Amino acid sequence: MNITAACCIEDGKLLVDGQPRFSGKMAVADFLLNAYKHFGIDYPKYYKMDHLAQLGFLGAELLLQGRNIATEYGPEQVGVVFSNATASLDADLHYFATVKNIPSPAQFVYTLPNIVIGEISIRHQLKGENAFFVTEDFDPGFIHFFVEDLFAREKLKACVCGWVELLDERYKAVLYLVENKAGDLRFDISNINKIYKLTDGQVNG
């Protein structure tokens, strides 16, 4: 099992396979919108998503760019496994603010962290095993164990994995594609940590 692609988004920087692809110091809403437009993505529903869903969706778009992974493996053979520390708290707070007047159904939809998985799955037609875990800190050991087990039990042949965290103006997305095929970066805890800490240069540098 190898990591065949990676996308990291944090603090105004967006890297794909270790290479800078977009940057800009601006509010999170502006960054997510400008990055979306910069890459010429055409998916009108993006504008309706909350910031967490936009962050994960954007990362997955770039991670899977040029691939039709559902066709390559079959929709049921591609999974999505994410984690973060604050669940959907950002959307929860925005929704709570609307309760004082008229509750917003559009914002209520995003008050579950796994909605980002749903948005990605719909976009890329993925129907395999999926899960969103909430952990106090980034835990590469747990994700490695969970995903490796899915592969060992032949539940999956490919998996979009990562950490997707956003609260107010703080955000970090670290997404990587795991496949049972040749690659330079083995799927292990050490390499997951390298990608998580990546800010410049090659993924395997």
Determine the pLDDT at residue 168. Answer: 82
Determine the pLDDT at residue 82. Answer: 96
Q: Average of pLDDT values for 6-13?
A: 94
Whether 104 shows a pLDDT value over 60: the answer reads no
Query: Domain-by-domain residue ranges, the chain?
Result: 2-196
What's the rounded Cα separation, in Å, for the pair 48 and 27? Answer: 18
- Number of Cβ within 10 Å of residue 40's Cβ equals 6
pLDDT in tens, 181-203: 887 899 999 999 999 987 544 44
In this prediction, residue 136 has a pLDDT band, given cuts at 50, 70 and 90, of: confident
Determine the pLDDT at residue 169. Answer: 86
Q: What's phi and psi for 25, nearest 5 deg?
A: -85, 110
Tell me the whole-structure pTM to 2 decimals: 0.87
Tell me which CATH code domain 2-196 carries: 3.40.47.10
More confident residue, 143 or 111: 143
Distances from the Cα of 72 to the Cαs of 29, 41, 63, 67, in angstroms?
34, 22, 15, 8
Determine the pLDDT at residue 204. Answer: 39
HSE-up of residue 90 (Cα within 13 Å, Cβ side): 21
DSSP codes joined into one string, the chain: -EEEEEEEEETTEEEETTEEEEE--S-HHHHHHHHHHHTT---GGGGGS-HHHHHHHHHHHHHTTT--HHHHH-GGGEEEEEEESSTTHHHHHHHHHHHTSS--HHHHTT-STTHHHHHHHHHHT--S-EEEEE-SS--HHHHHHHHHHHHHTTS-SEEEEEEEEEETTEEEEEEEEEESS--SEE-SHHHHHHHHT--SS-TT-
In this prediction, residue 86 has a pLDDT band, given cuts at 50, 70 and 90, of: confident
Whether 79 shows a pLDDT value over 50: the answer reads yes
Could you give the percent of the chain with pLDDT greater than 90? 72
Residue 44 tokens, joined: 């009108």
Whether 87 shows a pLDDT value over 90: the answer reads no
What's the rounded Cα separation, in Å, for the pair 109 and 163? Answer: 21
